Amino acid sequence: MNKFALIACAFHAAAAVAITPAQVQVTIQGVTPGKGPVIISVYKTDDTWLKKGKAVDIKKVDSTGKNVVASLTLEPGTYALQAFQDENDNDKLDMNWLPPGPGEPWVVSNNAQGAMGPPSFKDASFSVSTDQKIALVLQQP
């Protein structure tokens, strides 16, 4: 094998290792069984965080028990996720006017809380490089 072919093979192998996706198992606790599915949305950047149509992945899981589990396949990088129990099954997190805030059980990664609005991407973000498990507890409205 000539030197060029050897270098090309080594580069190809290194590139394949660098982009190996990780399995992220997300467990959402505090679900009310049978009261609507749990929707988990994954975001990659601060610019897309919680914006409609900007999630890189969305999982909808039936609420058959007090805990639901979803498996995400994510490439190495930084992410943040939001989950909520869609009690009226309308595919969106309903909001309350008074008091202002989510009208359905919800949570974001790191169980981050916002002061006067939603938590920031920075507070909710986590790094993915290998397989991992995340457990979050729904907050009641």
Domain ranges in the chain? 21-137
Please compute, for residue 6, the number of CA atoms within 13 A of its CA located in the half-sphere on the CB side: 3
Domain 21-137, CATH number (from 2.60.40.10, 3.90.226.10, 3.40.50.300, 1.10.1740.10): 2.60.40.10
12/14 Cα distance (integer angstroms): 6
Asked whether residue 141 carries a pLDDT value surpassing 50, the answer given is yes
Count of C-beta atoms within a 10 Å radius of residue 87: 16
Q: Are 117 and 100 in contact (CB under 8 A)?
A: no
Asked whether residue 28 carries a pLDDT value surpassing 60, the answer given is yes
What pLDDT is recorded for position 45? 98
Count of C-beta atoms within a 10 Å radius of residue 31: 23
C-alpha closest to that of 56 among 70, 68, 74: 74
125/80 Cα distance (integer angstroms): 4
Which of the pair, 114 or 58, is modelled with greater confidence? 58
Structure token digits, residue 66: 């007090």
Q: Residue 7 carries which DSSP code?
A: H
What pLDDT is recorded for position 6? 47
Whether the predicted model's global pTM rises above the 0.75 cut: yes
Q: Are 12 and 122 in contact (CB under 8 A)?
A: no
What pLDDT is recorded for position 114? 87
| Rg of the chain on CA atoms, in Å | 18
Residue with tokens 């609420």: 63
Residues in CB range of 125: below 8 A, 6 or more apart: 78, 79, 80, 109, 110
